[in-house]
Structure 1
Protein backbone atom coordinates (compact mmCIF):
# COMPACT_ATOMS: atom_id res chain seq x y z
CA UNK A 1 0.00 0.00 0.00
CA UNK A 2 1.38 3.40 -0.97
CA UNK A 3 1.98 5.89 1.81
CA UNK A 4 -0.55 8.68 1.27
CA UNK A 5 0.64 11.97 2.69
CA UNK A 6 -2.06 12.78 5.26
CA UNK A 7 -0.80 16.30 5.90
CA UNK A 8 0.62 18.53 3.16
CA UNK A 9 2.70 21.66 3.67
CA UNK A 10 1.07 24.79 2.22
CA UNK A 11 3.67 27.30 3.47
CA UNK A 12 6.50 27.52 5.96
CA UNK A 13 8.20 30.23 7.96
CA UNK A 14 11.35 30.18 10.07
CA UNK A 15 10.54 31.10 13.68
CA UNK A 16 13.94 30.61 15.36
CA UNK A 17 17.45 29.43 14.49
CA UNK A 18 20.74 28.90 16.33
CA UNK A 19 23.83 26.72 15.81
CA UNK A 20 22.04 23.56 17.00
CA UNK A 21 18.50 23.80 15.68
CA UNK A 22 15.85 25.55 13.61
CA UNK A 23 12.20 25.93 14.53
CA UNK A 24 9.67 26.47 11.79
CA UNK A 25 5.91 26.88 11.66
CA UNK A 26 4.17 25.29 8.72
CA UNK A 27 0.69 25.97 7.44
CA UNK A 28 -0.70 22.54 6.56
CA UNK A 29 -3.66 21.01 4.81
CA UNK A 30 -5.19 17.75 6.07
CA UNK A 31 -6.83 15.01 3.96
CA UNK A 32 -10.28 16.55 4.45
CA UNK A 33 -9.04 19.93 3.18
CA UNK A 34 -9.04 21.62 6.58
CA UNK A 35 -6.05 23.77 7.41
CA UNK A 36 -3.94 24.26 10.51
CA UNK A 37 -0.42 24.89 11.71
CA UNK A 38 2.36 22.53 12.67
CA UNK A 39 5.50 23.43 14.62
CA UNK A 40 8.63 21.52 13.57
CA UNK A 41 12.04 21.39 15.25
CA UNK A 42 14.82 20.68 12.76
CA UNK A 43 17.90 19.12 14.36
CA UNK A 44 20.74 17.13 12.88
CA UNK A 45 20.93 13.41 13.59
CA UNK A 46 23.23 12.14 16.32
CA UNK A 47 24.99 8.91 17.26
CA UNK A 48 24.49 7.01 20.51
CA UNK A 49 26.98 4.40 21.72
CA UNK A 50 26.39 1.57 24.19
CA UNK A 51 29.85 0.82 25.68
CA UNK A 52 29.33 -2.69 27.04
CA UNK A 53 31.54 -5.04 29.03
CA UNK A 54 31.36 -7.27 32.13
CA UNK A 55 27.54 -7.48 31.99
CA UNK A 56 27.12 -3.75 32.25
CA UNK A 57 27.65 -0.39 30.60
CA UNK A 58 29.87 2.66 30.85
CA UNK A 59 27.48 5.59 31.06
CA UNK A 60 27.77 9.34 31.52
CA UNK A 61 25.84 11.67 33.78
CA UNK A 62 25.44 15.40 33.39
CA UNK A 63 23.15 18.28 34.28
CA UNK A 64 20.41 18.67 31.66
CA UNK A 65 19.28 22.27 31.66
CA UNK A 66 15.81 21.79 30.06
CA UNK A 67 14.72 19.36 32.81
CA UNK A 68 16.70 21.00 35.62
CA UNK A 69 18.46 17.86 36.87
CA UNK A 70 21.33 15.48 36.34
CA UNK A 71 20.64 12.45 34.18
CA UNK A 72 22.47 9.26 33.19
CA UNK A 73 22.65 8.30 29.52
CA UNK A 74 24.76 6.43 27.02
CA UNK A 75 27.43 8.58 25.33
CA UNK A 76 25.83 10.48 22.46
CA UNK A 77 26.22 13.55 20.32
CA UNK A 78 26.22 15.06 16.87
CA UNK A 79 28.62 16.68 14.48
CA UNK A 80 29.17 20.40 15.08
CA UNK A 81 27.44 22.78 12.67
CA UNK A 82 29.21 22.81 9.31
CA UNK A 83 30.70 19.34 9.78
CA UNK A 84 29.40 16.09 8.38
CA UNK A 85 30.50 12.50 8.22
CA UNK A 86 29.74 8.85 8.65
CA UNK A 87 27.56 7.84 11.66
CA UNK A 88 30.15 5.22 12.71
CA UNK A 89 32.88 7.88 12.68
CA UNK A 90 30.66 10.08 14.84
CA UNK A 91 29.95 7.21 17.25
CA UNK A 92 33.67 6.51 17.71
CA UNK A 93 34.32 10.22 18.26
CA UNK A 94 31.57 10.62 20.88
CA UNK A 95 32.65 7.48 22.76
CA UNK A 96 36.26 8.67 22.98
CA UNK A 97 35.34 12.29 23.73
CA UNK A 98 32.91 11.54 26.57
CA UNK A 99 34.44 8.40 28.14
CA UNK A 100 38.00 8.06 26.80
CA UNK A 101 37.21 4.54 25.58
CA UNK A 102 38.06 3.31 22.09
CA UNK A 103 35.96 0.49 20.66
CA UNK A 104 37.75 -2.49 19.15
CA UNK A 105 34.40 -3.56 17.72
CA UNK A 106 31.52 -1.26 16.83
CA UNK A 107 28.23 -2.92 15.79
CA UNK A 108 25.36 -0.97 14.26
CA UNK A 109 22.10 -1.77 16.06
CA UNK A 110 19.71 0.53 14.22
CA UNK A 111 18.26 3.98 13.68
CA UNK A 112 15.36 5.60 15.54
CA UNK A 113 13.59 8.94 15.77
CA UNK A 114 13.51 10.55 19.20
CA UNK A 115 10.39 12.67 18.90
CA UNK A 116 8.87 12.12 15.48
CA UNK A 117 5.76 14.12 16.34
CA UNK A 118 7.70 17.36 16.63
CA UNK A 119 11.27 16.92 15.40
CA UNK A 120 13.18 15.76 12.32
CA UNK A 121 16.04 14.42 14.48
CA UNK A 122 16.92 10.77 14.51
CA UNK A 123 19.82 8.81 15.93
CA UNK A 124 22.11 5.96 14.98
CA UNK A 125 22.70 3.34 17.68
CA UNK A 126 25.95 1.39 18.01
CA UNK A 127 27.20 -1.27 20.41
CA UNK A 128 30.85 -0.75 21.43
CA UNK A 129 32.81 -3.77 22.68
CA UNK A 130 36.47 -4.74 23.07
CA UNK A 131 36.96 -1.44 24.88
CA UNK A 132 40.37 0.16 25.38
CA UNK A 133 40.56 2.87 28.06
CA UNK A 134 41.96 6.32 27.39
CA UNK A 135 41.53 9.95 28.38
CA UNK A 136 38.21 11.71 27.82
CA UNK A 137 38.36 15.01 25.91
CA UNK A 138 35.01 16.64 26.67
CA UNK A 139 33.57 19.80 25.15
CA UNK A 140 33.05 22.89 27.30
CA UNK A 141 29.32 22.08 27.62
CA UNK A 142 30.30 18.72 29.15
CA UNK A 143 32.57 20.05 31.91
CA UNK A 144 30.24 18.74 34.65
CA UNK A 145 30.01 15.28 33.03
CA UNK A 146 30.75 12.24 35.16
CA UNK A 147 31.05 8.68 34.02
CA UNK A 148 30.45 5.40 35.75
CA UNK A 149 29.94 1.72 35.24
CA UNK A 150 26.35 0.53 35.67
CA UNK A 151 25.54 -3.18 35.72
CA UNK A 152 22.59 -4.44 33.67
CA UNK A 153 20.64 -5.07 36.87
CA UNK A 154 21.31 -1.49 38.02
CA UNK A 155 20.37 -0.15 34.57
CA UNK A 156 16.97 -1.86 34.74
CA UNK A 157 16.39 -0.65 38.29
CA UNK A 158 17.46 2.92 37.36
CA UNK A 159 14.97 2.97 34.47
CA UNK A 160 12.17 1.67 36.70
CA UNK A 161 13.04 4.16 39.48
CA UNK A 162 13.28 7.18 37.15
CA UNK A 163 17.04 7.64 37.61
CA UNK A 164 17.63 6.99 33.90
CA UNK A 165 15.04 9.03 32.00
CA UNK A 166 16.81 9.58 28.67
CA UNK A 167 14.45 8.18 26.03
CA UNK A 168 17.27 7.59 23.55
CA UNK A 169 19.21 5.44 26.03
CA UNK A 170 16.16 3.37 26.96
CA UNK A 171 15.24 2.88 23.28
CA UNK A 172 18.85 1.92 22.47
CA UNK A 173 18.79 -0.66 25.27
CA UNK A 174 15.68 -2.16 23.68
CA UNK A 175 17.55 -2.53 20.36
CA UNK A 176 20.43 -4.16 22.24
CA UNK A 177 18.06 -6.71 23.81
CA UNK A 178 16.58 -7.46 20.36
CA UNK A 179 20.08 -7.78 18.91
CA UNK A 180 21.01 -10.27 21.62
CA UNK A 181 17.86 -12.29 20.91
CA UNK A 182 16.22 -11.91 24.31
Structure 2
Protein backbone atom coordinates (compact mmCIF):
# COMPACT_ATOMS: atom_id res chain seq x y z
CA UNK A 1 0.00 0.00 0.00
CA UNK A 2 1.40 3.38 -0.98
CA UNK A 3 1.44 6.12 1.64
CA UNK A 4 1.82 9.86 1.82
CA UNK A 5 5.51 10.70 1.50
CA UNK A 6 7.11 13.82 3.01
CA UNK A 7 9.36 15.44 0.40
CA UNK A 8 10.53 18.42 2.47
CA UNK A 9 9.76 20.10 5.74
CA UNK A 10 10.60 23.55 7.06
CA UNK A 11 9.92 25.22 10.36
CA UNK A 12 7.98 28.47 9.99
CA UNK A 13 7.71 29.53 13.63
CA UNK A 14 8.72 28.35 17.12
CA UNK A 15 8.16 29.45 20.72
CA UNK A 16 8.45 27.65 24.07
CA UNK A 17 5.02 26.01 23.65
CA UNK A 18 4.72 25.06 19.98
CA UNK A 19 6.17 25.14 16.51
CA UNK A 20 4.61 25.45 13.07
CA UNK A 21 6.03 23.59 10.11
CA UNK A 22 5.18 23.38 6.44
CA UNK A 23 5.54 20.00 4.76
CA UNK A 24 5.55 19.40 1.01
CA UNK A 25 4.21 15.89 0.44
CA UNK A 26 3.38 13.44 -2.31
CA UNK A 27 -0.01 11.71 -2.10
CA UNK A 28 -0.28 7.95 -2.81
CA UNK A 29 -1.42 8.69 -6.39
CA UNK A 30 1.73 10.77 -7.01
CA UNK A 31 0.09 14.20 -6.81
CA UNK A 32 1.81 16.88 -4.74
CA UNK A 33 0.37 18.39 -1.58
CA UNK A 34 1.09 20.80 1.24
CA UNK A 35 0.43 20.49 4.97
CA UNK A 36 0.85 23.02 7.76
CA UNK A 37 1.32 21.23 11.09
CA UNK A 38 1.34 22.64 14.60
CA UNK A 39 3.69 20.55 16.73
CA UNK A 40 3.09 20.68 20.48
CA UNK A 41 4.27 18.42 23.28
CA UNK A 42 1.83 15.79 24.52
CA UNK A 43 -0.61 17.10 27.11
CA UNK A 44 -2.72 15.67 29.90
CA UNK A 45 -6.36 15.98 30.86
CA UNK A 46 -7.26 15.17 34.46
CA UNK A 47 -10.79 14.22 35.45
CA UNK A 48 -10.80 14.92 39.19
CA UNK A 49 -13.64 12.91 40.75
CA UNK A 50 -14.84 13.09 44.34
CA UNK A 51 -17.77 10.70 44.85
CA UNK A 52 -20.46 11.87 42.43
CA UNK A 53 -18.79 15.25 41.88
CA UNK A 54 -16.36 16.51 39.25
CA UNK A 55 -13.84 19.34 39.58
CA UNK A 56 -13.74 21.69 36.57
CA UNK A 57 -11.90 24.87 35.83
CA UNK A 58 -13.12 27.85 33.84
CA UNK A 59 -10.69 30.08 32.03
CA UNK A 60 -10.45 32.60 29.22
CA UNK A 61 -9.40 30.95 25.95
CA UNK A 62 -7.80 33.67 23.88
CA UNK A 63 -8.15 31.97 20.43
CA UNK A 64 -11.92 31.62 21.05
CA UNK A 65 -12.33 35.03 22.69
CA UNK A 66 -14.43 33.59 25.52
CA UNK A 67 -14.35 31.68 28.77
CA UNK A 68 -14.53 27.88 28.77
CA UNK A 69 -15.42 25.24 31.38
CA UNK A 70 -13.04 22.26 31.13
CA UNK A 71 -11.39 19.43 32.97
CA UNK A 72 -7.85 20.26 34.12
CA UNK A 73 -5.46 20.27 31.15
CA UNK A 74 -1.89 21.21 30.44
CA UNK A 75 1.53 20.47 29.07
CA UNK A 76 5.15 21.27 29.75
CA UNK A 77 6.66 24.20 27.83
CA UNK A 78 9.16 21.69 26.40
CA UNK A 79 9.28 17.99 25.66
CA UNK A 80 8.83 16.48 29.11
CA UNK A 81 7.19 13.32 30.37
CA UNK A 82 3.47 13.57 29.48
CA UNK A 83 2.30 11.01 32.01
CA UNK A 84 1.46 10.90 35.68
CA UNK A 85 4.02 13.51 36.77
CA UNK A 86 2.48 16.12 34.48
CA UNK A 87 -1.06 15.13 35.51
CA UNK A 88 -0.24 15.63 39.20
CA UNK A 89 1.51 18.94 38.48
CA UNK A 90 -1.38 20.36 36.43
CA UNK A 91 -4.01 19.24 38.95
CA UNK A 92 -2.17 20.94 41.83
CA UNK A 93 -1.34 24.05 39.78
CA UNK A 94 -4.87 24.74 38.53
CA UNK A 95 -7.04 23.53 41.44
CA UNK A 96 -4.77 22.98 44.42
CA UNK A 97 -5.93 19.36 44.55
CA UNK A 98 -3.59 16.48 45.34
CA UNK A 99 -4.59 12.97 44.25
CA UNK A 100 -3.88 9.71 46.06
CA UNK A 101 -4.63 7.77 42.88
CA UNK A 102 -4.36 8.39 39.16
CA UNK A 103 -5.74 5.98 36.60
CA UNK A 104 -4.81 6.30 32.93
CA UNK A 105 -7.86 5.99 30.66
CA UNK A 106 -6.21 6.40 27.28
CA UNK A 107 -4.75 8.82 24.76
CA UNK A 108 -6.69 11.05 22.40
CA UNK A 109 -5.66 13.06 19.34
CA UNK A 110 -6.27 16.74 20.03
CA UNK A 111 -7.02 17.89 16.45
CA UNK A 112 -5.61 15.36 13.99
CA UNK A 113 -6.02 17.58 10.93
CA UNK A 114 -4.11 20.46 12.49
CA UNK A 115 -1.68 19.32 15.16
CA UNK A 116 0.49 16.38 16.13
CA UNK A 117 -0.45 16.89 19.79
CA UNK A 118 -1.98 14.01 21.71
CA UNK A 119 -3.44 14.02 25.21
CA UNK A 120 -3.21 11.41 27.97
CA UNK A 121 -6.43 11.24 30.01
CA UNK A 122 -6.32 10.42 33.72
CA UNK A 123 -8.90 10.02 36.47
CA UNK A 124 -7.77 11.43 39.81
CA UNK A 125 -9.20 10.12 43.08
CA UNK A 126 -8.55 10.38 46.81
CA UNK A 127 -8.43 14.16 46.54
CA UNK A 128 -7.18 16.56 49.20
CA UNK A 129 -7.24 20.33 48.89
CA UNK A 130 -4.11 22.44 49.02
CA UNK A 131 -3.07 25.79 47.58
CA UNK A 132 -3.07 26.24 43.83
CA UNK A 133 -0.05 27.69 41.99
CA UNK A 134 -1.49 29.17 38.82
CA UNK A 135 0.67 30.73 36.14
CA UNK A 136 0.16 34.41 35.26
CA UNK A 137 -1.88 33.35 32.21
CA UNK A 138 -4.26 31.53 34.58
CA UNK A 139 -4.84 34.37 37.04
CA UNK A 140 -8.57 34.64 36.27
CA UNK A 141 -9.10 30.87 36.34
CA UNK A 142 -12.03 29.62 38.42
CA UNK A 143 -12.33 26.19 40.05
CA UNK A 144 -15.74 24.70 40.84
CA UNK A 145 -17.28 21.34 41.71
CA UNK A 146 -20.31 19.96 39.86
CA UNK A 147 -22.43 16.87 40.41
CA UNK A 148 -22.63 14.39 37.58
CA UNK A 149 -26.17 15.57 36.81
CA UNK A 150 -24.95 19.18 36.59
CA UNK A 151 -21.99 18.15 34.40
CA UNK A 152 -24.26 16.17 32.07
CA UNK A 153 -26.63 19.17 31.78
CA UNK A 154 -23.71 21.51 30.99
CA UNK A 155 -22.63 19.10 28.23
CA UNK A 156 -26.16 18.75 26.81
CA UNK A 157 -26.72 22.52 26.88
CA UNK A 158 -23.41 23.30 25.16
CA UNK A 159 -22.01 25.12 28.19
CA UNK A 160 -19.05 22.74 27.94
CA UNK A 161 -17.81 22.66 24.35
CA UNK A 162 -14.09 21.91 24.83
CA UNK A 163 -13.14 18.97 22.61
CA UNK A 164 -10.61 17.43 25.00
CA UNK A 165 -13.11 17.58 27.87
CA UNK A 166 -15.80 15.97 25.71
CA UNK A 167 -13.49 13.17 24.52
CA UNK A 168 -12.09 12.61 28.02
CA UNK A 169 -15.59 12.31 29.47
CA UNK A 170 -16.48 9.74 26.80
CA UNK A 171 -13.43 7.69 27.86
CA UNK A 172 -14.47 8.08 31.50
CA UNK A 173 -17.98 6.78 30.76
CA UNK A 174 -16.56 3.82 28.82
CA UNK A 175 -14.17 2.86 31.66
CA UNK A 176 -16.36 3.55 34.68
CA UNK A 177 -19.15 1.22 35.81
Q: TM-score, normalized by length of structure 2?
A: 0.96
Q: How does 1:51-66 map to 2 (within 5 A)?
A: 51-66=48-63
Structure 1, unaligned runs of 5 or more:
none
- After TM superposition, the structure 1 = structure 2 runs for residues 134-153 of structure 1, keeping only pairs within 5 Å, are 134-153=130-149
Deviation at 1:56, TM superposition (A): 1.9
Counterpart for residue 97 of structure 2: 101
For residues 131 and 93 of structure 2, the distance between their equivalents in structure 1, rounded to whole angstroms, comes to 8
CA displacement at 1:86 relative to structure 2: 5.2
SS of residue matched to 2:63: helix
TM-score (norm 1): 0.93
Runs (4+) off by over 2 Å: none
Any gaps of 5 or more consecutive residues in structure 2? Answer: none
Contact 2:44 2:87 in 1 (8 A): yes
The size of the alignment, in residue pairs, is: 177
Within the alignment, does 1:14 sit opposite 2:3 as a pair?
no
Q: Is the 8 A contact 2:75 2:82 kept in 1?
A: no
Query: What is the alpha-carbon root mean square deviation over aligned residues?
Result: 1.2
Mapping of residues 29-68 of structure 1, within 5 Å: 29-68=26-65
